[in-house]
Amino acid sequence: DNKSWITTFSGSSVMQVFDAATDELKFNIPVDTGNWSTFSISNDSRKAYTCNYTTGKVSVVDLEAGMVINSFTVSDSIHGIDINSTNDTLYIGLNVSAGVMYKVPVNDPNNSQTVYLYGSGTNIFLKPHEIKFRPDYAYYFVTCEGPGDDEVCVYRADLDLLEKEIEVGNNPSQMAMSAKQGLLFVTCMGDQYFPGITGSVSVIDMNSFREIKRIQVGWQPYALVVDDEAGLVYVANRNFQGTGTMPYYPSACNGRNGNLSVIDIATLQAKPDIYTEFSVDPFGIAIRY
């Protein structure tokens, strides 16, 4: 509902909820200690579901009361979570090369189902990183980052059947959608497609399920968000390897600063006149309307 913004932490025991109008902290919500990696928000904006990669626990957070109202354990190494259109089933990825995803009923998590994300050829045991439903919820996309995967897999939501494997750049990670243009943007953090730089953004047509372009951005792009009104995609480049972009400004943190790239959706090209530097290793990004 654009009233709050939320962040989870790696190696911490809190989820924080901030007021989107004032950026003031609303809730400091205690959760178990661990690597809280990804989360999904219900369609009515009342609840958040967040994954602990370390312990395999999912916490259900009431965003209005600012408290955990339920938790359950799925499996160690879970990463990537989304909720279906009716807010009754969670889709959660197992981030190991086992080709497994879990469907978890929100009100009955003990009766979860295992979905096998089998690919073809040598990529039988896909390693899911993120899961995201298409805006019409007819299909969902899974980034598969395991050795030899390097693809985005498309599944029919009604049958959980593999519809298409789309080859993209190396180490596909995060996804963001332009509902207006029917495009899916995917950061490929380890891609060597463009000479002299590590990383790219793949652009996928969400109707034909094919990659239509690969865009050069900054070093090791990871998090990204689409602003459909402005026709822009914002990409946070981690830039944490020693061969990446040299920073302009000093930071209190060890390592190289990250930075921002901006993609024009109309031209599918990075805007060369924008450079914004962050502190070390930016790992998430959102936009306030």
For 73-108, the pLDDT digits (tens) are 999 999 999 999 999 999 999 999 888 999 999 999
The secondary structure of residue 110, as a DSSP letter, is: G
Q: How far apart are the first and last CA of the chain?
A: 10
pLDDT given at position 254: 87
Question: pTM here?
Answer: 0.96
Decide: 132 and 82 in contact? Cβ < 8 Å: yes
Q: Which two tokens stand for residue 9?
A: 């932490």
d(CA 286, CA 187): 15
CA angle 155, 61, 32 (to 5 degrees): 100
Q: Which two tokens stand for residue 156?
A: 């029919």
Can you tell me the mean pLDDT for 18-24?
95
pLDDT tens digits along 139-175: 999 999 987 789 999 999 999 999 999 999 999 999 9
Q: What is the mean pLDDT of the chain?
A: 94
Phi, psi of 109 (to 5 degrees): -65, -20
Q: Do residues 211 and 202 touch, judged by C-beta distance below 8 A?
A: yes
Query: Would you tell me how many other CB atoms lie within 10 Å of the CB of residue 11?
Result: 9
